[in-house]
Amino acid sequence: MRKLSLPVRLALLVAGSTLPLIIFVSVVIYRGYEKDREDAATRVLETARSLRIVLDAEMQRITGSLHIVSLTSSLRSGDFERFRRIADGFLAQYPPGGAMIIADRNGRQLFSTTTTDVSALPPRNNMDVVRKVFDTGKPVFSNVFVGSGINRQILTVEIPVTIDNHVVYDISFMLPTAMFQSMIEKQRPNADWAVSIFDAEGTNFARVPNPQETVGKKASPTLLAEMFKAQEATFQTISLEGVPLITAVARSSMSGWMVASGIPTSSLVLPLLHNLAITIAIGILLMLVGVAFALRMASAIARGETLQALLVEELNHRVKNTLAVLQAIASQTFRSASKSERETFDGRLGALARAHDLLSQEKWAGAGVHDVVNRVLEPYSVLNTPRITISGPKLPLTPPRAVMMSMILHEIATNAAKYGALSSDGGKITIDWKQLPESSPPKLQMTWVESGGPRVTAPTRKGFGSRLIERGARDQLGGSATADFLPTGVVYTIECALA
């Protein structure tokens, strides 16, 4: 997988730091929106309930006044001419448009405030309401219907006139719609809200907004489908104007009429979108500023890395030249030395060069133990054979310790190739290491175990290689190196400080 460039990595870091903040703030804003929706649902229900209470109180007052009218002597005696003054006084309490009618059990109109010639009036055309008044002897609240003789939609409150426990007349008060229209306009919280009063069948008889276009019509299909399911409820609807609403309904147990109030969902969604847009815009702006700063920092870091790379290359070049000069001097100096001595020196010099190459690849930041071991044993490794087994965790070594560990392992491997396991075809080497758990500062312990080689005998004296191993481990690695010359093979134990 291709490694991402430094500018891209820094830009992703800025984006990865900014995006969670934007998401968090957006979630907080959305949670606030949900809380606002809950509050709005509570407000519309409280508004519908409040208007229903006002409506019930007004209907209670009307039915009480009509009951008093039903007890007047002029009405009970059938003196309708004298009763007209009482009826006109009753209507004067209400806005224009109201009327009072007296009818018998058959719906025949015996009296009307709209005319003195009752003989020309047709029978009542909502006989189901008239029959209910005579059958129950209780007030009845009608649904919207077309009145006889006036040919327009009306709404009535019907009161029985009882003499000797028998219903003899039905007083019908045609309610002025202006009364209900004024009622909902006073209760309407603000101009965004839709408020309606419906009869028991879901027909509007007072509404804001657009009363001229909506009064007398059925509720919108979405509202009509929900409004009869409970006495009080809150749900989402689409108004007759096509506006999505959070709607609440409250049914009157007295009249059976229903009050509905609704607030447009846009009044909640628009602030949500506004706040989200501001949050995202500010977040993107901050992200762009961060990315620009990151790119600028990346440019400065890249220049530093370029300079560092040039210095490392220059160092490598100089070290290689120094090693080449050193090798040439050694060749001249050791001209009279034996071939074995020259090979030994060249091998140590080669180990130093390989350690230098490894550190150069890592830009002199250090090297891993596994890499050091592999680099030293690479000349002795035979592919697809289990002669050399290496295992251990990933542990870092500082540059000085990596060089010394490379030199020590080279000396041990050289001895194994000359006298030990690597000098015979059946010989094997196992190298493993671990970090000592209880050491402070932390230490690495490496074990080199040889087997399958020639029989081992302990040397009678220590050569330069043995002293290099011991002193290098003590002075440069901050640890120790011990060798056990077992008959089955040499075992080296090396300890190295990691910090």
Rounded to an integer, the average pLDDT of 327-341 is: 56
Residue 286: the pLDDT is: 74
Pick from 180, 113, 110: nearest CA to 150: 113
d(CA 143, CA 146): 10
Residue 311: the pLDDT is: 46
Pick from 409, 394, 395, 411: nearest CA to 462: 411
Residue 32: the pLDDT is: 75
Instruction: Extract the tokens encoding 188.
Output: 């309407």
Q: Which residue has the tokens 């001595």?
A: 341
- Point out the least confidently predicted range of 57-71, 187-201, 353-367, 443-457: 353-367
Which ranges in 198-265 belong to alpha helices (H)?
211-214, 221-224
Determine contact, residues 397/389, Cβ cutoff 8 Å: no
Determine contact, residues 160/138, Cβ cutoff 8 Å: yes
Q: Which residue has the tokens 């929106």?
A: 33
Q: How many CA atoms lie within 13 A of 251 on its CB side?
A: 14
Helix (H) or strand (E) holding 390: strand 388-391
- Point out the least confidently predicted range of 90-99, 190-199, 254-263, 421-430: 421-430
The DSSP secondary-structure symbol of 363 reads T
Query: What residues have CB less than 8 Å from 73, skipping those under 6 apart?
Result: 79
Check the CA dihedral 135-140-144-150 and report its sign: positive
Rounded to an integer, the average pLDDT of 214-236 is: 92
Residue 223: the pLDDT is: 93
Rounded to an integer, the average pLDDT of 421-427 is: 82
Query: Could you tell me the pLDDT band of residue 135, with boundaries at 50, 70 and 90?
Result: very high
Residue 361: the pLDDT is: 57
- State the average pLDDT for the chain: 82
Residue 308: the pLDDT is: 53
Residue 312: the pLDDT is: 52
318 three-class SS: helix
Pick from 274, 204, 273, 200: nearest CA to 241: 204
Strands 166-174 and 244-251: unpaired
More confident residue, 62 or 124: 62
Tens digits of per-residue pLDDT, 140-170? 999 998 876 667 788 999 999 999 989 999 9
Query: Could you tell me the pLDDT band of residue 1, with boundaries at 50, 70 and 90?
Result: low
> How is the chain split among helix, strand and coil, in percent rounded to 5?
50, 20, 30
The answer on pLDDT for 487 being more than 80 is yes
Tens digits of per-residue pLDDT, 15-66? 777 778 778 777 877 787 678 778 888 999 999 999 999 999 999 999 999 9
Rounded to an integer, the average pLDDT of 109-129 is: 88
- Point out the least confidently predicted range of 44-58, 244-258, 336-350: 336-350
Query: Could you tell me the pLDDT band of residue 427, with boundaries at 50, 70 and 90?
Result: confident
Rounded to an integer, the average pLDDT of 389-406 is: 85
The answer on pLDDT for 431 being more than 70 is yes
d(CA 315, CA 174): 108
Query: Could you tell me the pLDDT band of residue 13, with boundaries at 50, 70 and 90?
Result: confident
Tens digits of per-residue pLDDT, 282-326? 877 777 777 777 677 766 666 656 645 544 554 454 455 455 545
